A and B are shown apart, each in its own frame.
Chain A
Amino acid sequence: MHFLANTLMGLGLGCILTKRSFIGVLIGVQMMLYGASLSFVLSGALASEPKKGYVFALFLILGGIAQLIGGWALAIRMFYLGGRVDMSALKRLKG
């Protein structure tokens, strides 16, 4: 069943590599986090230690929110400076 988590991770990586927009990259990172948390819960369930897997997955999901908050703030900053959120515009963030 681990191929589910691995496929999600791969799809997230593909999203990061193919999307030109910064928001698209953040979506790809979020998908990779889904895959990682799924992998932790699966590993815990298959190893008959579900509690450990759940705890890791919970911290991963909530840690992903911190990453998203930072990403959104960067996107807003990019929009202030350049009027767009393309990855090609991510060269300088200071005004």
Chain B
Amino acid sequence: MTHGDFLFWVFAIITIVSGACAVMAPTLRTTALSLWICGLGVGSLFLGMGAEYIAVAQWILSTLVSVSFVFYSVLFGEVKKKEKPVKVASGIACGLLFIGVINFGFQDLPIQSSGVTPLKLGEFGISLISDHFLSIKVLALTLMMAIVGAGVISRPEKGS
């Protein structure tokens, strides 16, 4: 077992444990933070399988989604006192540790030891534009309709 394989299974365990924490967490804020760790773990698993582009997209989107969930949980009434500096410092240390593990741990991807050639990023981009252009258009239209629809649904009543 290479250290890439070892890290893959470590991230798999982190993902499952954080998912279980999200289910059992007593507050929405803790649930959203557990979902964030779960999303980061899933992104790391994508990286282990050679899907770099999907991994980066997953990391960015899971971070934005979890921040939004924390925002909405506070907006809808779950107020938390100001964070202690020790917690902030430990959070920064965990982030730096994550970056270090990703940078130095996945030098050899587990997918390479299984014999499958990982897809090159440029090849994936060309495939998206040439083979799935219509799907991208439909997805973009769906996202735009969702944003416009959300604005219509969430507007305040007249006179309120």
In the bound complex, how far is the Cα of B43 from the Cα of A8, in angstroms? 13
Range of interface residues on B (Cβ < 8 Å) = 35 or more
Nearest residue, chain A, Cβ from B140: A62
Instruction: Given the known inter-chain contacts A50-B51, A58-B57, A72-B150, please indicate yes or no for A30 contacting B139, CB distance below 8 A.
Output: no
Question: Using a CB–CB distance below 8 Å, which chain B residues touch chain A?
Answer: 12, 15-16, 19-20, 22-23, 28, 31-32, 35, 38-39, 42, 45-46, 49-51, 53-54, 57-58, 61-62, 65, 68-69, 72-73, 75-77, 111, 114, 116, 118-119, 123-124, 127-128, 132, 135, 139, 142-143, 146-147, 149-151, 153-154, 156-157, 160
Instruction: Given the known inter-chain contacts A7-B19, A63-B142, A70-B150, please indicate yes or no for A85 contacting B76, CB distance below 8 A.
Output: yes
Nearest residue, chain B, Cβ from A40: B54
Binary interface profile of A, 51-95, with partner B (CB < 8 Å = 1, else 0)? 101110111011111111110111111011000110000000001
Q: What residues of chain B lie closer than 8 Å to A55, measured between beta carbons?
A: 127-128, 132
Question: Which one of A54, A68, A95 contacts B53 once the chains associate, using CB atoms below 8 Å?
Answer: A54
Give the contacts of A1-32 with B (CB-CB under 8 A): 4, 7-8, 11-12, 14-15, 18-19, 21, 23-24, 26-28, 30-31
Instruction: Check A45–B65 contact: CB distance below 8 A.
Output: no
Q: What residues of chain B lie closer than 8 Å to A58, measured between beta carbons?
A: 53-54, 57, 128
**How close is B85's CB to chain A, nearest CB, in angstroms?**
28
Give the total number of A-B pairs whose CB atoms are below 8 A apart: 153
**How close is A51's CB to chain B, nearest CB, in angstroms?**
5
